[in-house]
Amino acid sequence: MMTAALGQQSDLAQIKQRFVEHYCAEGYAHIPGSSLLDPSVPMSYVMSAGLVQVETSATLHGGRTGTRYTLVQNCFRYFDMAKVGHSAMHLSLFQMPGAFTFGPANRTIAIARIWQLLIDGYGFSPDSLWATFFAGGAATGHHFEPDWETQRAWIEVGMVPEHIVGLEAEHNFWKQGASVVGDTQAPKCGPNTEVFFDRGTQLSCGPTCAPGCTCGRFVEFLNTLFITMHIDGIIEPLAEPFTETVVGAERVAMLLQGAASIYEIDTVHPLMAMVREAAGTVPPLVQDGSIHERVIVDHIRALLFLTADGAPRPGKGGRARLMRKLIRELLTSMRLLRIADMALVHNLANTVAVLETNPHLPAYVDKVCDYIAAEKTIFDRTVRAGMRKLEAMLEEGDIPNFNGADMVKMEKQHGVPRALVEIALRQKRVRFDPETYQKAYRQWSQSLAGEN
Ligand SMILES: [Zn+2]
- Residue 39 pLDDT greater than 80, yes or no: no
What's the pLDDT at 53? 61
Ligand 1 centroid–CA 282 distance in Å is 36
Cα(242)–Cα(235) distance, rounded to whole angstroms? Answer: 16
Is the confidence at residue 357, as pLDDT, over 90?
A: no
Cα 190 to ligand 1 centre (Å): 27
Per-residue pLDDT of 241-264, as tens digits, reads 899 999 999 999 999 999 999 999
Residue 184: pLDDT band (50, 70, 90) is low
List C-alpha distances in Å: 376 to 98, 146, 364, 390. Answer: 37, 54, 18, 20
CA 204 to ligand 1 centroid distance, Å: 5
Q: How far is the CA of 365 from the centre of ligand 1 (A)?
A: 41
Taking the C-alpha atoms of residue 358 and residue 74, their distance in angstroms, rounded to an integer, is 10
| Angstrom distance (rounded) from CA 209 to CA 240 | 38
Instruction: Indicate the pLDDT class of residue 451, thresholds 50, 70 and 90.
Output: low
**What is the whole-number distance in angstroms between the Cα of residue 208 and the centre of ligand 1?**
7
At 233, phi and psi to the nearest 5?
A: 80, -60
CA distance 237 to 153: 22
Q: Are 7 and 125 spatial neighbours (Cβ–Cβ below 8 Å)? A: no
pLDDT band at 8 (very low <50, low <70, confident <90, very high): confident
What pLDDT is stored for residue 147 in this prediction? Answer: 97
pLDDT at 61: 40
pLDDT beyond 70 at 64: no
Q: Provide the pLDDT confidence category of residue 445 given band limits of 50, 70 and 90.
A: confident
Question: Residue 63 above 70 pLDDT?
Answer: no
Query: Rounded to the nearest whole angstrom, what is the distance from the C-alpha of residue 299 to the centroid of ligand 1?
Result: 29
Q: Residues lining ligand 1 (ion), CB within 5 A?
A: 205, 209, 213, 215
Query: For the chain, how many residues are written?
Result: 452
What is the chain's mean pLDDT, rounded? 90
Ligand 1 centroid, distance to 206 Cα (angstroms): 6
Other CB atoms within 10 Å distance of the CB of residue 361:
21
Of 329, 331, 328, 333, whose CA–CA distance to 342 is shortest?
Answer: 331
Give residue 167 CA to ligand 1 midpoint distance, Å.
15
Q: How many angstroms separate the Cα of 258 from the Cα of each of 254, 266, 339, 427?
A: 6, 11, 30, 41
How far, in Å, CA of 263 to CA of 203, rounded? 19
pTM exceeds cut of 0.85: yes
Quote the ligand 1 centre to 215 CA distance (angstroms). Answer: 4
